[in-house]
Structure 1
Amino acid sequence: MSSTMKPNNITDCPEDPFNPLATAIIQISCMLVIAHIFHLIFKPLGQPGPISQILAGLVLSPTLLSRINKVREFFIQDTSAFYYKIFDFISRVLFMFLFGLETDVTYLRLNFRVASTVALGGILMSIIFGISASIVFLKLLAIKINKVAFTIVVSILLANSASPVVMRVIDELKFDTAEVGRLAKSSSLINEISCVLVMAAYLVFSSSGMLGNAIWSIIVTIALVILNRYMARWFAMWNKKSKYVSNAQVLVILVFIVFVSLLIEGLGFSSILICFLLGMMFPREGKTTRTLFKKLTYSIHNFILPIYFGYMGFQFDASDLNTIQSAAFVLILVLSSFVAKLVGTMAATHHLKIPRIKAVLLGFILNLKGNYEYLIIHVNVNDRTWWSTKVHNLLLVVVVLNTLISGTIVAFIMKRKENYFAHKDTSLEQLSKECEFRMLACAYEPRHASGQLVLTAALSGSIAPYLIHLVELPKKRRKNTLMYNQLEDGGNFSDEEEYGGNDVLEINDAVDAFTIMSKIRIQQMKVVNNFANIYEDVCNTAEDLRVSMIMLPFHKHQRIDKQMENGKEGYRTTNQKILRHAPCSVGVFVHRDQTGIQQPIGYEKAQPVATLFFGGLDDREALAYSTRIASNTNINLTVIRFRPIEPSGKQPFDAPPNIDDVLMSLSISKSEYEKDIVFIEDFRLRYVTSGRVGYIEKYVNSGEETVEALREVRDMEFSLLIVGKGGRGRSPLTTGLSDWEECPELGTVGDLLASVDFNLKSSMLIIQQHRHHSDTEIVSS
């Protein structure tokens, strides 16, 4: 690396460590307090946290409070720079490693072409604008030496998207699970990695000996990736009876990462890409990863990143904008950045046929700065052979203004177009088979988690499963002195480990074993609340995660003697509340683990599964769910359709001439009947005619005949029965079935099948489709 590109040495310790350290701590404390005040003001306006944090730093910067001599002498000390550099380096290492851990590798792999096209469009246009602006400023600023380096830095400053800032803004605005949010995250990662590689390539070819350093950097990184995999496995084995690995073992992993990052920096390259790759390639399952998430997420999101964003604003110095030339320099670069990103991104999205409003949003999101830009700007500020201190400060102003303006505009667009970006895939019937199925599975106990894993294993295609552990808040903890953060999942408080007891360990072990066997990554969460209110947490989580279905465990479980036994009454009341208030479709799983469906993965033979179709929106939802398991080679699916017999005694056609008479006997709307016909016929054409799914029709004309037909289905010994909860109107097919109603949350048919008298051995999945407010309410039978 040339002398002009070497970062400042962070190993030179000041002689008096107390005063500058105290100054740094006080400055950080003031920054956090001011940021919190700003957040209280701007949050109701829809502004994300990073905007408030940057503004807090700006308040303390030389532009405002630090213009006062006494304040400036206290806050801006040369000896404090050492601590800021140390904090900046450690923070950067940790949050880039965490972002690598949090990266949705599956989505990135499946959508790499789309995300890379969006990123490349903005990069290419920014490079064009960057080179054009550099030609002007090389003459205007009279830069005589390292002109190529200056041009590359300006181009990267315009082209780069700071992925940590992008991810944090998206998370704060709660569209991280939306398609546009996930695409923005992936595009920003590809964007930043591309810029880092461009800069690394320039260093390799511009300095002698850098090629060897690059090779050593790659070797060291690969070695640590392999070592991390072994350490993750060893640490998990040493802590078999614990929920997490020890703090000392976590420290060992982090020390290795910091050490390698220091080594990479010493070799002349940025450690941003290395830290991210180490996190992305870290094992996704096991206690070690779960512990790293727990230890890093809270501290980084709530402490490190706010300070990092605050320090961005703190470096804003408006005193350098004292001439028309300086103001023009900043204005041209800011406008160039916006125009280049918008034009390049919109051109790419037009090619991909992405709607214009999403293209505009992506353009502004990808214009967020603040990570890699600071590293390339902060290369040896005092070396005037590259640029002057004033140019350095003006580039910092450009970065801060870009982030402030872009973040504000993104928040405004999300607030203004809230309905447009709202979650709309709230049921499976309207979701294309090719689209990702997002599912939130609930578990009160380890046996419930095992059942949910069985359902997950039966699914095929693109899925994004979440498992939420619902824990009752112990009565002894229901006191006024309980802190708010003690109810949060993952908070660093002393009695958090008490919640859930050994159930947490058993559920974690079951999920880890399932992940290793199926290669399906399940994201876990935990909610602690009393049963009266826990349904709100589930519904809010489902809305935030934009899932299409919530899976609930039935409040009864099968004993060793194969009889069903009641669980806690709180399970049942919570299920009933979720069914009433859920923002999406809901499934209730009656798991008979002794006689019903078993884990499909690794099972010796394919298990028979049947879907019962009577008609109505819930049965259509059940059939839509069945399409998600139809392609699973471990499942043999059969659809059993129950149909009425016409008054003449003839079996009806799909569209009989006397359809009005049939509808009158069924008491359902013509539109619902037509939807049933279209949906079932489409299913038959797709799956039955190809031989993938079996199809049986049973003709009945009363509740008694339906019961007899269901007894025949029972004797077929299916391992799982899937049925809709209701929504059929007052159908003669189910008349009288509710006379012995015991569990109305299962619907008429589901309640009958679950009754003790029916003696069913199969597991059952009862599905309720989400009722949109605009839909006409259909009374369940």
Structure 2
Amino acid sequence: MEHENDIAKFMKGQLNTPKEEIACFVNRIDNPGPIWNSENVLEYYLKELVKQILAVAVANRVTFWILRPLNQPQFVAELLAAFVINIYIPLKKNPNTIFGYILRIKGLLSFESIAQLGIIFYVFVTGLEMNLDSVLRARKKASSIAIVGTIIPILFGLGTYFLVGKTKGYDENSYMNRNAYLLWSLVVTITSFPVVAHILSDLKILYTGLGKVALTAATMNDFINWAMFICLIPFIINGIIGIVSVILTILFALFCYFVLRPPLNKIIVKKTDEDKWDAYQLTYVLVGVIACATVTEFLGTHSVVGALIFGLILPRGKFTDMLIEQTEDIASGYLAPLFFASIGLRSNTYFLYLSLSQNMLLVCVIMILLISSKIVSTVVATSIYGMSLRDSMALGVLMNTKGVLSLIVLNIGWDRKVLGPQAFTIMVYSIFFMTFVVAPIINAMYKPRATFEQNKLRTIENLRAASEIRIMACVHNARHANGMINILEACNGTTVSPLRVFALQLVELKGRSTALLVAQMDQQEQQLSTVSQTLDQSSETNNYSSNHITNVFEEYASNNANTHVENLVAMSSFSTIHKDIYNLALEKQASLVLLPFHKQNSMEGSLEVMNTVIKDINQNVMQDVPCSVGIFVDRGQHSALIKTKMRILMIFIGGSDDREALAIAWRMSKHPWTMLTVVRIILCGKTAEVDSSVNNEALGLLTAVLDSGKQRELDEDRVGSFRLKAVNNEDTITYEEREVHTGEDIPIVLEELDKLGFDLYILGHGKGRNSLVLTELLEWADCPELGVIGDMLASNSFGSNSSILVVQQYGFGGVDFKTDPSNKENSSNGDLESMFRKAV
């Protein structure tokens, strides 16, 4: 009443300075009806809201672009943007924050309302991404880390909030209560699964042992956090009668799962299979989100709980992916950032400055305890399983990652006056700092490229005769899998030298963390089912399911006693998936990575481009991978490679790649049903001219010290050993030599050899040859990843029906693909094609 009197006096001019800052505005009533007596929202609120959304969106995009080189998740960028736009600018006439100049007090109501709507849809998308099966099937190790990582941080939270109450200027009478302790402790225990998944994927350690444990433990912890949120928030909001809210919310969740879910899923799956969804019909789903959010808000829990429950009960698969694609941009890109901006409005930097200036040591101790709580709990939990201290510390740092749930809890504490502005600000900045430092710390602790140097001789040529051969076969679809089986069968696993195959399915990921989790599931059925759904939608050329791919490799392993197959899945953006291949090849200690060619055989027998993205992936892998690489050109049903008897031609010119190709062909020759012919092409005349422009320093550590004479010496030694040990002792192995004097002689020799009818060509890419003619021809190659000879053999003008395996040896540097786009466009009519026409 006193406050209303002050406003009245102020309006009449009788009070020059009100006791409190007063915000006054006049509502204009445009609707004469008694029910709709309200201000016209189109006149003021809509225009202001559009400006606010644009300002927040621009700030988010700028901060995300700045932080992108640091591998920071979007959550960090959005929170930093909220801090930036709320920086206080002390102007003389009108001091205010940056956002304060945009957001007038009159527009605060609409801004907050839309912000709450945005966070509801944001949590709904989170529910779509969560997988309860992963929680039920989690292993003991991940469950222990999640449980211990909840209990110990609760104790740390109680202690740190007690220290907050001891800081100078803190209002103990208003905010030091048991609800504050509960809320503060809940924030400390939170680990955000979506943010952890993004960091692991961005740093390309998702498929390592650390990544698997971290992802599963984060899922468990996130599930526990949401359960604690449902159980504790009603007590914080409603006191002891909150038990009624908890019981009713649990009953509502059970109703949604057992009563609403079955018929709803049946309708959704049917409409999805029939492709009857459109943008208008999807709005009914969004109405369901609002309805469930309203119910849980009415029950006394929180609106986001209803959104989460509704997201969890919807069927996974094509419908979920379609729904996320339709709602993620508007929910996560425009509406949810308004919530982060509102957090920034509440986070008064002045309170943080005041706390630091008056209680520097105490605030630093508080933040150290907050950061170390998860690390200590993780080290304690992992010590039982014998995990190294470095991995335990890294896992603890990852478990420290916070997300939107922590901000929701803090926002509730602010609205209910459970937390004061000082404690609220300290915790918000702590959340930002804890999440911000995760990516740099993990990146510093696990530098994949530093570990590559330890494996400079991981090649087939350098393996001992009795060593296990590890091959990683990468496939995009079932047709690739069927082709890879032929190469793996020819590699001939024996008792003395068994074969271990890592069948890696490459799946494009478009920002969904669900697939990241499923890819790590140890339960193969759950994994392959979800991967199959992703594959069916991401590739139009995929004619088979992921289950078929797995069955192909498992059947191959069952028919070969000395071969073991492990099925893997790599889900990532195709622009960066080559880094996942790097790390997986390194972790699995592979000696050879097999990649499918980006062209496939058509019904007419010619090679046609199926997916240009595959070509980019292959070139990225060849540039820097921690083992040798082979690109397989599969001729499909026109190839005789599917026959039991296999005739192999290995073309040897010279260099490290050819020596590696000879080592692979030599191993294949030990298969009882394989016939190997090695043809050495000797460069004479112009073709023997050395390319002096080759920069050996850029070709790798080993090539830098190998001149042309040394390369020839190694070639002679390898060929001589092959002729002595293989040709003279095996009836199925033959050797011959052909001379070429000009570039035009090369296609002539190839034409003559192809007439002999081979099933498979094996050849090196071409490093170490130092031939001026071959270097010039490579500039005109349509597919430089195949090298000069490989590009000739794969040309449709060559007319061969044989499959091709092009090998690049590791340890001598990658291939630099610097081709002129104009050459690529005209390559079909280039020099290589014309050479074949001349040869014919």
Contact preservation (8 Å) 1:515, 1:521: no
Query: Who is 2:517 aligned against?
Result: none
Contact preservation (8 Å) 1:428, 1:621: no
Separation in 2, partners of 1:435, 1:281: 42
Residue 263 (1) aligns with residue 313 (2): no
Query: Who is 1:32 aligned against?
Result: 57
Deviation at 1:220, TM superposition (A): 0.9
Q: Give TM-score scaled by structure 1 length.
A: 0.61
Query: Who is 2:80 aligned against?
Result: 55
CA deviation map 1:410-455 (0-9, x unaligned) = 34335645734779699998999999968463xxxxxxx5623646
Residue 200 (1) aligns with residue 202 (2): no
Separation in 1, partners of 2:377, 2:37: 45
What letter is aligned with 2:434? S
CA deviation map 1:73-110 (0-9, x unaligned) = 65566654543444344433433444455569998888
Residue 402 (1) aligns with residue 452 (2): no
Instruction: Map 1:66-81 to 2 at 5 A.
Output: 69=95, 80-81=107-108
Indicate the SS of the match to 2:447: helix
Separation in 2, partners of 1:618, 1:283: 49
Query: Who is 1:592 aligned against?
Result: 636
Indicate the SS of the match to 2:606: strand
Deviation at 1:361, TM superposition (A): 3.7
Contact preservation (8 Å) 1:554, 1:588: no
Contact preservation (8 Å) 2:214, 2:399: yes
From 403, 409, 426, the equivalent of 1:376 is 409
What letter is aligned with 2:430? N
Separation in 1, partners of 2:159, 2:142: 26
Query: Who is 1:465 aligned against?
Result: 505
Deviation at 1:173, TM superposition (A): 5.5
Separation in 2, partners of 1:256, 1:82: 24
Contact preservation (8 Å) 1:129, 1:340: yes
Query: Who is 2:218 aligned against?
Result: 188
Indicate the SS of the match to 1:234: helix
Separation in 2, partners of 1:265, 1:433: 61
Deviation at 1:194, TM superposition (A): 0.9
Instruction: Map 1:227-238 to 2 at 5 A.
Output: 229-238=265-274
Indicate the SS of the match to 1:668: helix
What letter is aligned with 2:429? L
5+ unaligned residues in a row in structure 2: which ranges?
1-35, 489-499, 510-534, 551-566, 586-592, 651-657, 679-712, 738-749, 770-780, 817-840
Separation in 2, partners of 1:456, 1:106: 33
CA deviation map 1:47-71 (0-9, x unaligned) = 6654444333223327557995465
What letter is aligned with 1:565? S
Separation in 2, partners of 1:144, 1:597: 80
Contact preservation (8 Å) 2:154, 2:186: yes
Contact preservation (8 Å) 1:588, 1:746: no
Residue 768 (1) aligns with residue 807 (2): yes
Separation in 2, partners of 1:774, 1:198: 53
Contact preservation (8 Å) 2:196, 2:215: yes
Contact preservation (8 Å) 2:128, 2:311: yes
Query: Who is 1:343 aligned against?
Result: 376
Indicate the SS of the match to 2:437: helix
User: CA 1:302–1:567 in structure 2 vs 1: closer, same or farther (change >3 Å)?
Assistant: same
Task: Give the root-mean-square deviation of aligned CA atoms.
Answer: 6.1
Indicate the SS of the match to 2:226: helix
What letter is aligned with 2:119? R
Contact preservation (8 Å) 2:351, 2:421: yes
From 703, 717, 734, the equivalent of 1:667 is 717
Deviation at 1:590, TM superposition (A): 0.8
5+ unaligned residues in a row in structure 1: which ranges?
1-11, 442-448, 470-503, 528-536, 599-606, 627-636, 646-662, 678-695, 731-740
Residue 127 (1) aligns with residue 162 (2): no
Contact preservation (8 Å) 2:146, 2:218: yes
Separation in 1, partners of 2:141, 2:647: 37
User: CA 1:186–1:575 in structure 2 vs 1: closer, same or farther (change >3 Å)?
Assistant: closer
Contact preservation (8 Å) 1:285, 1:521: no
Query: Who is 1:315 aligned against?
Result: 346
CA deviation map 1:536-566 (0-9, x unaligned) = x5xx542366565573336461426xxx224
Query: Who is 1:217 aligned against?
Result: 253
Separation in 1, partners of 2:426, 2:244: 32
From 330, 334, 356, the equivalent of 2:367 is 334
CA deviation map 1:156-199 (0-9, x unaligned) = 11111233444455566665566545544443332222122123
Query: Who is 1:559 aligned against?
Result: 603
Indicate the SS of the match to 2:372: helix
Residue 155 (1) aligns with residue 185 (2): yes
What letter is aligned with 1:257? V
Indicate the SS of the match to 2:718: coil
Residue 253 (1) aligns with residue 253 (2): no
Separation in 1, partners of 2:484, 2:261: 30
Separation in 2, partners of 1:644, 1:456: 21
Separation in 2, partners of 1:728, 1:319: 62
Indicate the SS of the match to 1:567: strand
From 73, 87, 90, the equivalent of 2:114 is 87
User: CA 1:213–1:233 in structure 2 vs 1: closer, same or farther (change >3 Å)?
Assistant: closer
User: CA 1:306–1:721 in structure 2 vs 1: closer, same or farther (change >3 Å)?
Assistant: farther
Deviation at 1:24, TM superposition (A): 4.0
User: CA 1:55–1:592 in structure 2 vs 1: closer, same or farther (change >3 Å)?
Assistant: closer
What letter is aligned with 1:592? G
What letter is aligned with 2:218? S
Separation in 2, partners of 1:267, 1:117: 33
Separation in 2, partners of 1:335, 1:226: 48
Contact preservation (8 Å) 2:88, 2:96: no
What letter is aligned with 1:261? A
Q: Give TM-score scaled by structure 2 length.
A: 0.57
Contact preservation (8 Å) 1:220, 1:260: no
What letter is aligned with 2:805? I
Deviation at 1:348, TM superposition (A): 3.2
Contact preservation (8 Å) 1:610, 1:638: no
Deviation at 1:338, TM superposition (A): 0.9
Contact preservation (8 Å) 1:618, 1:727: no
CA deviation map 1:267-302 (0-9, x unaligned) = 33356577567657755544x344334334555565
Equivalent residue pairs, number: 625
Contact preservation (8 Å) 1:641, 1:698: no
Indicate the SS of the match to 1:207: helix
CA deviation map 1:366-390 (0-9, x unaligned) = 3233422233333374656xx3xxx
